[in-house]
Amino acid sequence: MNLTSLRIITADIKRLVQFLEKITGLTATWYTEDFAEIVTSTSTLAIGSTKTMALFGGEIAQPASNKSVIIEFRVEDVDTEYERIKDLISDVVQKPTTMPWGNRSLLFRDPDGNLINFFTPVTPKAIEKFS
């Protein structure tokens, strides 16, 4: 079994996709006006509008209500990324900080309030884990 993607449901798909494109530097692929994906070399972040929930049987997901998931992106240099995106993010939860497990981490919220973590492994053990 392989985890293929993570999907965010949003009430304002254009705003969220534009934000994600700006912070990742990647271009989303739009399949319909209500569904897009940002694909990296290791995973896919899918973004669906609330309209897509009807295809799954109704109002089974609530946009802008995530309280438990952090979307994580490994980046080359988290401090450089922070400087690049700091004017794009209005809710910085934690500026770049080295965590006890060896990653340097920047935690912020997207326009829907979802937590996003940009991280760079910095200790030998963390670097080895991602090699």
Alpha-carbon span 105 to 63, nearest angstrom? 25
**Nearest Cα to Cα of residue 85 among 25, 41, 3, 34:** 25
The pLDDT of residue 7 is: 95
Element (H, E) at 65: none
**Nearest Cα to Cα of residue 75 among 28, 116, 115:** 116
pLDDT digits (tens, 9 = 90+) for 51-82: 998 888 877 888 999 989 999 999 999 999 99
The pLDDT of residue 58 is: 79
Mean pLDDT by 10 residues, the chain (131 residues): 94 98 98 97 95 85 92 98 97 98 98 97 97 89
The pLDDT of residue 68 is: 94
> Which domains are present in the chain?
1-49 (3.10.180.10), 67-131 (3.10.180.10)
Q: ∠3-103-7 over CA atoms, to 5°?
A: 30
Element (H, E) at 33: none
The pLDDT of residue 82 is: 98
